[in-house]
Chains A and B, each alone.
Chain A
Amino acid sequence: MTIQMSRAVSKRSGVQINQISDKSEIGSVAADYNGAFIGRFLRGRIDKVFAVTREKIDRQLGASISLNVSALGEAKIQVYEAVRYGAVQAIVSRLIAADHVHKLIVATAGIAVGEGVAPAVWATGLASAGLPAGALIAFKHLECFNDGLTCQINAVAAEDDQAVAIASKIITVQFVDPASEKIIIGPFTGSLDPEARDEFNNSYFITDVIEKGTDLLDVVDVASGATVPVTSPFYGTVNGKAKFVSATLQYFTEGSTVYTSSEMEAALDRIRRSKPNFTYLNAGGTENLALLALMSGLGKEINKQFPFDVPGRLNPEAVATFIQSVGADIKTLYGQAFWAPLKRDNPIAGGKAYFGTSGQQIGLRCARNAQVNSQGIAPRNRPIAGSDYGLNGTNITQMYDVNDDELELLAENQVNPCIFKDYPSGSKYAWVDSLTGAQTTGATKLIAVAEMATFLDDNVAAFAQEALQKPMAESIKLTLRFMGTLCKSIESASWLNPTAELDGAAWQVQVSRNEAAPYDTMDVKYDVCYDGTNRKTIGQQTIVRQS
């Protein structure tokens, strides 16, 4: 085959074809199917957020806690319902108190020094104490399992040139979930010698092998010159199988399950620093006023909607007072309150109890967001409310019958009830309203508008990031083109409504140099008129007399 082109032609005669340039990007925010959750869980890393999927929810968050045991068990229900009903993954920030203790997992050769008793092969130790005498290697398991971790180690048998067994530097470690008894980390085989290389001349040092394979386990230290003697209980094989020594270690103590302001702030900060993007925030059904106020403030700060639950056991008057108690931060288009005076079966731990519906809201919204049209736009103008969406659950009982005056009070306080409703298409427990916390008669009082407006802002912000550090004229051209495509797309999805304010158009966009700082600042202005949601229908029948 003859190559007809080159990538660089200077003085010679030839054909230079440049790298393919893709300028067709229309921008997207790959976060429409995720929600971020905060709460107390029995497992989960505490240094940053982590993504939880439906398949691994027990493995990643630990066992489910009955609501009869602790109200904090609701956080996992909210995560479960979100991933069960449509969220691709939940981004979880685990609440943790400062008095937790996170010990190292230490492996020794299990050989007695002198005439003493042989030490346990596996033990825990404080990081501040350093590597104890006789230790081979120390690990830190970052998933912080309250119920411990089963650790297993084997040393690969070694021989000298006369086929005599000698001390080995090669170990295999693996870690087993004590609940499911499945290997969840490893196996990793590597050398205790930092200089070791494999057949491809890559590092074979156990630290490098583990770091390459997982970010759930840190190798904190490897003893200098460490080897595993032939007499070690995990040296070599037995009956043709690698001889492992196994122990379940309680290396993590959670500490208090009540949290100070600074501990809650720290959990919020982990969400703020989250690398996986997300669209919704959730407080795991908490009744903690301080945490709700903090979360609603975060939603406003980072342009994320915050569906939250008002305790279902409260009566409507108390619900209104509760909402007023949370404060001004909740009174924005980001804060969206749901009240379900319902008892239903706890889907993960059994028993019938009050718990919120915000996690399921997020799941259903994510499922809806996945239903994009040919231009990539989801029906976000369709709130998860009314006859199209029923609450999923079993053995549901409504514990409080709401009258019209109370529904008025709830709407006045921007609370969306989830109650039994007899629609002609069928009876169901439904979210009968879709209000944001915004205290306005304008469009932002509607969840549908909040959905569309936050989507638009997220997309504009994401593209604007791409346009940074490009020449100004090019940035303006690219951004204008992007905005035109985006606005046409959302108009085609029936999100917008033409208005006389925009001379009969549904949107207008202006991208230009900033007048005060024309060299380094670009202004992007976009006016849109959103379609609304029919919350109230007024009919009037007039009977006329016979002529």
Chain B
Amino acid sequence: MAKINVKQGDGAAPRNLALAIIAGQTIPFEATIIHKGVKPLVVPSSGINTVILPGEAVPIKIKSFEQAWLLVTDLATLAQRYNNAAEDFATITVPNVVAAATEEASPVLVAEGEAPADAETPQLTKAQKAALKAADTASE
């Protein structure tokens, strides 16, 4: 499993994180979402119609690139709303993709069990960009 962290401020330019969420996946696919908010949250783009409790991993279905984009902007907005500066305010865990893609995606995708990576804007390799672009096109 690979993890994508979303933090306050990521909503301004969500493309790379949204691409990282869907990279290598066959849409639709299942992922889980977990957040470190103090209060329960509603994340409209998750498709979950109830509140998501802090620390509770909730399965969601990601159906498009657009949905992944909105997940990033919603979670970043919520981090901003509650003034939560955690680098991993929310984590979206997606299934592992083919080994090569996962290894190359290391700036944003962190293997389960490892310490959460700094959720900085990822720097994608040329090959990875091509793979993500293909996924992007397919989802649109």
Contacts and interface: CB of A to CB of B under 8 A. Distances in A.
A394 interface: no
A313 interface: yes
Contacts of A66: none
B40 interface: yes
A290 B10 CA distance: 12
Nearest to B50: A318
Most buried by A among B39, B51, B66: B51
A288 B74 contact: yes
Contacts of B49: 311, 313-315, 318
A324 interface: yes
Contacts of A260: 12-15
A313 B18 CA distance: 25
A534 to B, nearest CB: 32
A322 B11 CA distance: 18
B45 interface: yes
Interface in B50-92: 50-51, 65-66, 69-70, 73-74, 76-78, 81
Contact of B77 (A257, A293, A314, A321): A293
Contacts of A326: 81
A452 to B, nearest CB: 31
B44 interface: yes
Nearest to B75: A289
Contact of B44 (A256, A315, A317, A322): A322
Contact of B73 (A256, A262, A288, A321): A288
A287 B45 contact: yes
A160 to B, nearest CB: 56
A495 B69 CA distance: 47
Q: How large is the interface on B (under 10, 10 to 19, 20 to 34, 35 or more residues)?
A: 20 to 34
B121 to A, nearest CB: 13
A289 B14 contact: no
B50 A261 contact: no
Contacts of B73: 258, 261, 288-290
B51 A288 contact: no
A318 B78 CA distance: 14
Contact of B70 (A258, A315, A317, A318): A258
Contact of A257 (B39, B66, B78, B81): B66
Contacts of B65: 258
Contacts of B81: 289, 293, 325-327
A287 B14 CA distance: 17
A320 B84 CA distance: 20
A321 B42 contact: yes
A324 B70 contact: no
Contacts of B111: none
A327 B14 CA distance: 21
B117 interface: no
Contact of A314 (B41, B42, B66): B42
B41 A321 contact: yes
B111 to A, nearest CB: 28
A96 to B, nearest CB: 15
Given A289-B74, A314-B49, A327-B81, A322 B42 contact: yes
Interface string A313-345: 111011001101111000000000000000000
A321 B48 CA distance: 13
Interface string A295-322: 0000000000000000101110110011
A287 B12 CA distance: 17
Given A261-B12, A287-B44, A290-B11, A317 B66 contact: no
Contacts of B13: 260
A68 to B, nearest CB: 12
Most buried by B among A290, A321, A324: A290
B37 to A, nearest CB: 9
Interface in B3-48: 11-15, 18, 39-42, 44-45
A326 B50 CA distance: 16
Given A257-B66, A258-B65, A314-B42, 18 more contacts: A256-B140, A258-B14, A258-B73, A260-B13, A260-B14, A288-B70, A288-B73, A288-B74, A289-B73, A289-B77, A290-B76, A314-B49, A317-B50, A321-B39, A321-B40, A321-B41, A322-B44, A327-B81
Interface of B: 11-15, 18, 39-42, 44-45, 49-51, 65-66, 69-70, 73-74, 76-78, 81, 140
15 contacts: A257-B66, A258-B14, A260-B13, A260-B14, A260-B15, A261-B12, A288-B74, A289-B73, A290-B73, A290-B77, A317-B50, A318-B50, A321-B40, A322-B44, A326-B81
Interface of A: 256-258, 260-262, 287-290, 293, 311, 313-315, 317-318, 321-322, 324-327
10 A-B pairs with least C-beta separation: A287-B44, A258-B69, A322-B42, A289-B77, A321-B42, A290-B77, A327-B81, A258-B66, A318-B42, A321-B51
